[in-house]
Amino acid sequence: MIELPDVERMIESIAGYTTGKTISTIRIDDPNVVPIESEIVTDHLEHHAVDSVERHGRYVVLRFRSDYSLIFDMGDDGLLRLESQTAPPTERTRIRFQFAAGRELRFSSSGSQGTVQALPGSQFNDKGALQSLGVDPLSEDLTVERFETLAARNHRSTVKGFLLNQKAIAGIGNDYADEICFQASVRPDMRVGQLMPDQTHRLHRYLRRVLRRATLHWSAAHSDPGWLINSRSNGSACPRCRHELTSLRVTGRKTVICPRCQRAA
């Protein structure tokens, strides 16, 4: 599942080349996933420069100087990548943005996962189509007070369900939700309403700490022997106490915990 740090890494890999460059041609390979009208393509996207590449939760936004924006719902496995125009598209390729220099930006995904939407600036103001997304976990808006308010509104949810709720906090997926709970020593299957104040504060602190480190130092985080995300296979030992990890299902998703380090209270 695509998560916030993965989207940040994608943006880092494409923004430097893409920003400021003009799209010469757009080829839509799958109109079901990319239902953009041809008039919008020819009048507002082709022969216009990309003004910025941004992230909103797990969504990527390409803003054009024509005042149109493309919103990429990354789904579970969406990918934005720069490639040569001479490389043939694959069955996963959904749309290609060609530059005059011979390279192109491609969006690929599996099946019907991931969609691309075009919006004029007037509809994108104040997030527009992204209005239903919750607060970005790395923004300054997610203060501990805001987190406590969101937790109170989701008191009947499990902790993991709360972290995965994109309408509350945008960008967290399965693996990082488990990592946050592990680092905060909180069971993900607890009800939010059962958390003690110190547990809520730890969740907030480690939520930001885990995502920030995974975003800024992805390779280091994913080789850290103290991180749960590197010990998720069945029968692995807890990176903290060496007790055998346990796998269960929470909100319908595989959830890995250490029953010794993550207690209910």
What does the pLDDT read at residue 220?
86
Do 166 and 115 fall within a single domain?
no
Cβ density class 173-202: b for 16+ within 10 Å, e for less: bbbbbbbbbbbbebbbbbebeebeeebbeb
> How much is the pLDDT for 129?
59
Residue 131 has a pLDDT of 76
The 10 Å Cβ neighbour count of residue 109 is 24
Please write the tens of the pLDDT for every residue from 209-254: 999 999 988 888 888 999 999 998 877 999 999 999 999 999 999 9
The number of folded domains in the chain is: 2
Classify residue 137: in a domain, yes or no: no
Identity of the amino acid at 1: M
> What is the model's pLDDT at position 224?
92
158 and 106 housed in the same domain: no
First to last CA, the chain: 30
- Of 107, 130, 153, the position where a domain reaches its end is 130
- 46 and 161 share a domain? no
DSSP 153: H
- Residues 148, 123 share a domain: no
Classify residue 136: in a domain, yes or no. Answer: no
Do 39 and 100 belong to one domain? yes
Contact in structure between 188 and 160 (CB atoms under 8 Å): yes
Does 235 fall in a domain? Answer: yes
Q: Which residues of the chain have pLDDT under 50?
A: none
186 and 202 Cβ atoms separated by less than 8 Å:
yes
Q: Is residue 248 part of a domain?
A: yes
Show which of 70, 98, 130 is a domain's final residue.
Answer: 130
pTM of the model: 0.87
Domain end position, chosen among 84, 100, 130: 130
The domain of 21 spans 4-130
264 found inside a domain: no
> Is the same domain home to 121 and 171?
no
